[in-house]
Amino acid sequence: MVFGALLLVAVLLDDIAARIRLPGILLVLLLGLLIDNNLEAIPGQPPPLLSLDQANQIAQVALVLVLFFGGLTTNWAALRSVLRPAARLATLGAGLTAILLMGGVLGLERLAGANWAASLPMALFVGAMVCSTDASAVLALLRPLAGRLPQRLLDLLECESAFNDPVAVVLAGLALALASGDGDTSASYLVIEVLRQFLLGALLGFLGGSLASQLLSAKLCGGVPSLLAVSSLAVLCLLVGATQLLGGSGLLAAYIAGLVLGNSSDCDRDALEQAHAGFAKLAELLLFLCMGLVVQPDQVVDSAGRALLLVLALMLVRWPLVEMLLFRVGFSRPERLMISCAGLRGAVPIALAIQAAASSVAWGRQMPALALGVVLIGLLGQAVALVPLARRLGLASMGK
């Protein structure tokens, strides 16, 4: 009953956010924070609305659906002109961001007297958790300038955000494995583990997407949208589960499979997008509701200082990386500055933080409040500054 009511309110808030030109995730996160997960107003000792284990299960499934839909809606032909710079930002940029932030966190832990080896997994996780960007949040903030910004700039932001999510997921999973004692901390182990997850995830995602495009063709599914939706969801579950069992990144496989299906002429792409748009929206709303429910407002306030410091560090790290990776690739200095300031965080840090909190690692419980603080501060700050900055840089006209 409560979740049905919360979902209805979340849908209403998402619509209101679109009208007032804000990312819907901002209002949905605030809704989750305002709801008492422990039900203290009810007499007796009722169980919480949502436990950490339940939230983690929902978050992992939700992230699969969000990434699959992201691949499904990526137009390969339209993004081909920005593919190389976007790939550099999504791989080298995200990886270097995670490593530089890891170094900063390690330095602070060292000053506090913590052991270097014990702090390494936590520092790597923090860097990985916040190294990816969210295209939907950025494009929602830039909606007032629709049609007036350079299309190539918007394509780059969208393509980068789609490609850098798997980087964050793989590095965060590696950090949790190291913290729980499932692997050593040697350089060879780190390199082999990352390459294995990436290569297996990409290979199985491509093969699974190619086979799925034949399986979901109009001949086999009869052109029935409902049958296509169920079949594609079943194939997605099978592919992600098999990839994870084989040691690859299931989330990367989900994104690659969506990319292959979304650009295949063998199946009804419009029907697939229509079916999974509902799944993805449900997943996104549930993900942010779960985050708000399992984090107490006082925890967010307590971690606000660290979250603000992390947001500032992200901005300082992203600016030189964007300048370096996009040098002489056709983007002007104002466009590069705009790209540097448009790195909003969204669904991926939320899901990774919940996963850490539900794990057995000692520092995992600190991650949801920190991630929520980073997302909220980023959304609130850039919601005010992003559109005026675009106008000041001459990237959009003042009037329509």
Give the three-class secondary structure for 139: helix
Res. 99 pLDDT band, cuts 50 70 90: very high
b/e string for 222-234 if b means 16 or more Cβ within 10 A? eeeeeebbebbee
Q: Is the pLDDT of residue 98 over 50?
A: yes
Residue 142 φ/ψ, nearest 5 degrees: -90, 5
What would the mean pLDDT of 376-398 be, rounded to a whole number?
79
Tens of pLDDT, residues 176-187: 888 877 655 566
Cβ atoms 127, 100 nearer than 8 A: yes
Q: Is the pLDDT of residue 398 over 70?
A: no
Picking from 262, 267, 263, the residue whose alpha carbon sits closest to that of residue 215 is 267
Give the three-class secondary structure for 1: coil
Tens of pLDDT, residues 8-40: 998 898 888 878 777 777 888 888 888 877 766
Tens of pLDDT, residues 340-384: 888 778 888 888 999 899 888 888 888 999 998 998 888 888 777
Q: Is the pLDDT of residue 42 over 70?
A: no
Where is 259: in which H helix or E strand?
Answer: helix 250-262
* Window from 41-55, 88-102, 206-220, 317-331 with minimum mean pLDDT: 41-55
What was the pLDDT predicted at 400? 43
CA 339 to each of CA 77, 146, 149, 309, 389: distance values in angstroms, whole numbers, following the listed order: 22, 16, 12, 20, 11
CA 21 to each of CA 15, 18, 135, 264, 281: distance values in angstroms, whole numbers, following the listed order: 10, 5, 15, 34, 18
Share of the chain above pLDDT 90, in %: 15
Q: Which single residue is written with the structure tokens 């007499």?
A: 43
What would the mean pLDDT of 305-320 be, rounded to a whole number?
91
CA 69 to each of CA 53, 207, 371: distance values in angstroms, whole numbers, following the listed order: 25, 18, 23
What was the pLDDT predicted at 43? 66
Q: Which domains occur in the chain, in start order? A: 2-392 (1.20.1530.20)
Mean pLDDT of the chain: 83
Tokens standing for 199?
């290569």
Res. 75 pLDDT band, cuts 50 70 90: confident
